[in-house]
Amino acid sequence: MKKTFMKLACMLLMVAIALSCAACGPTPGKRTSENENYEANLTVDSNISTTLKIGFYGKTEEDENHFKELEKAFQLIYPNVSISLVTYGSTSYYQDLMQAYRTGSMPDIIQTNATECFPLIEGGLLLDMDKYIQLENDKYEQGKNEYPDFYAFENFEDQFYDSLWKLGQKNYNGHQFFVPRSADRIVTYYNKEQFVAAGVDMTTVKNGWTWEDFLAACEKLKKYYADNYDGKPFISGQWQWEAVLFPMLESSGGKVFDENGNITLNSAETLNAVNLLKDLVTKGYTKEKEPNQLAFETKTAAIQFHSLHPDYYLKSLGSDLGIVTFPLIGKGSGENKDYSGAKIGAGVTGYGIYSGLTGAKRDLAWQFLSFTLSRDGQNCMAKGGVSQPPVRKDMQDGSNLWRQNKGNLNLDAFFWEAERNYSTNFFLSQESSKQVDLMEAVINMFNEPIRGTGKEPQKAIEDCVTALDNIIKSN
């Protein structure tokens, strides 16, 4: 009996090993052949009958609605194509994608963003879309020759803000692996009523306002908050977010690595950047984790640095909501301060095509993305509730849906001097598996001096250099 059982157990074990090694294992080498040797085609039979599966993270009402709007419009061209949505957890994004890949249930189109795309590109999950873009450029060129009045741009790619478009490229400068859906830029959301009540000089609160203007406003708000809110801090700064912190470092002239990949963080410029944040805490304007986002929505914080679409805040603040660009940080001192190198945090979320997709369905997936990027597509998204600014250059005027029902909000803040946009990229010279650790180390450097234990900024920088060195040298 025991022998028989052992035999059975051995057989099961062998089957398990065989399955692990073969059937459900990964497929090495697929990436190269699929990504480089495929044939792109812009002509898809309008009678094609299929379902496009889109994997996206988060699951807000707006997310679902905007896909419904896109589907409705897309069906005018491809009536037999439906869209099905698969949600991935925002905190278990890679985990969910891995599971989908391993079980052969990958979506046809994958949502990603400028910071989370690297492992997907490295892992070969996203299709290199250059062939489709080249065909679109050729098509645009042809149209331009025939109807020059209707084609105002250089080519297909020129329709989009370059600073945003290239964030979908490998290392932000190369092959296109995803197309940006909408523009995300860090802006200063503020409570207009509180600004006025505090006596802030509102003539300074305009696009391109400087860090010094911002500090002057904070000083007024401090007194206002002392009188009305028990002296609570009033800037919800998102001080753990790289999109806020890294432009501060870049604007101050601090660099994490030089061109050769050597660590150059320990500098007077970095110290200035770290001190900018520390000063805000020392003066009582903000704290490391306070006030939070909710405080701004409930009007117990006056300022919020964020890239969320204005509709989100309009729900809670209504006409009290104000928007202005992120304050410009200059180099030097006094009147000679130079703001030309000041940066503003930006990023994009967008969609890529699964590299395992083949034939007409891959072509169709591109058609869907192409439609999403069109004026109609961008308006559909706004209609569905995603009212972030479009990535297209030709959608600034009030006839576009994203601008409607926003009152007199200063929406230009999202585009003002777009060349100042800065997406965290210092880690590009390093392996993608080290990206998370490198970012965390630098974010921690900013936060250590503002924690209860209050590490000196210079010590925080030195510790960060040690940590970075450790990360680079590790396997």
Partner 1 sequence: MKISGKTVNKLKRNIAGYTFMLPLIIGVSVFSFWPIISSLIYSFHNYDGFMTYEFVGFKNYVNLFRNDVDGLGKVLSNTLIYAAVAVVLNLSLSYLLALSVSKQGRGVYAVRVLFYIPCVIPGVVMAAMWADMLSENGAFNSILTSLGLPAFTFLEAPETSMITLFITNLWGLGSGMILWLAAFNNIPRTMYEAADIDGAKGFTKFVKITIPMTTPTIFYNLITGVIGALQYNGTLMLAPLSGRGYENSVYFMSVKIYRDAFLRMKFGYASAAAWILFAIIGVLVIIMFRTSKWVFYGEE
Kindly report whether the peptide bond that precedes residue 26 is cis, defined as omega within 30 degrees of 0.
no
**Size of interface with partner 1, in residues (CB under 8 A):** 52
Match 């304007």 to its residue by tokens: 285
- Smallest distance from partner 1 to CB 51, Å: 23
Rule CB under 8 A: say whether 171 interacts with partner 1.
no
In contact, 415 and 432? CB cutoff 8 Å:
no
CA 26 vs CA 104, 122, 196: distances in Å = 10, 15, 60
What is the per-residue burial (b if ≥16 Cβ within 10 Å, else e) of 15-54? Answer: eeeeeeeeeeeeeeeebeebbeebebbeebeeeeeeebbb
Alpha-carbon distance 296 to 317, whole Å?
9
* ∠ CA 48-49-50, rounded to 5°: 115
Q: How far is the CB of 53 from partner 1 (least distance, A)?
A: 18
Of 132, 126, 55, 40, the closest CA to residue 89 belongs to 55
231 sits near partner 1 (criterion: CB under 8 A):
no
Among 108, 242, 117, CA closest to 169: 117
Give the shortest CB-17-to-partner 1 separation in angstroms: 5
* Contact flag: residue 6 with partner 1 (CB under 8 A): no
Residue 425 in tokens: 């990229």
Strands (E) located in 144-211? 179-185, 187-191
Query: Which residue among 60, 105, 399, 470 contacts partner 1 (CB under 8 A)?
Result: 470
- Cα–Cα distance, 116 to 349 (Å, whole number): 9
1 binds partner 1, rule: CB under 8 A? yes
Interface region with partner 1, contact rule CB under 8 A, candidates 115-123, 170-178, 195-203, 406-414 = 115-123
Identify which of 251, 171, 215 has the alpha carbon closest to the alpha carbon of residue 421: 251
Q: Give me the least distance between CB of 79 and partner 1, in Å please.
A: 35
**98 scored as a contact of partner 1 (CB under 8 A):** yes
Binding status of residue 21 toward partner 1 by CB under 8 A: yes
Distance of closest approach, residue 361 Cβ to partner 1, in angstroms: 20
Site for partner 1 in 235-294 (CB under 8 A): 287, 289-290
Q: Choose which of 52, 110, 114, 120 interacts with partner 1 (CB under 8 A).
A: 120
Binding mask 409-448 for partner 1 (x = CB under 8 A): -----------------------xxx-xx--x---x----
**Is residue 92 within the footprint of partner 1 (CB under 8 A)?**
yes
Binding site for partner 1 (CB under 8 A): 1, 3-4, 7-8, 11-13, 15-17, 19-21, 25-31, 92, 94-95, 97-98, 101-102, 119-120, 122-125, 287, 289-290, 432-434, 436-437, 440, 444, 451-453, 470-471, 473-475
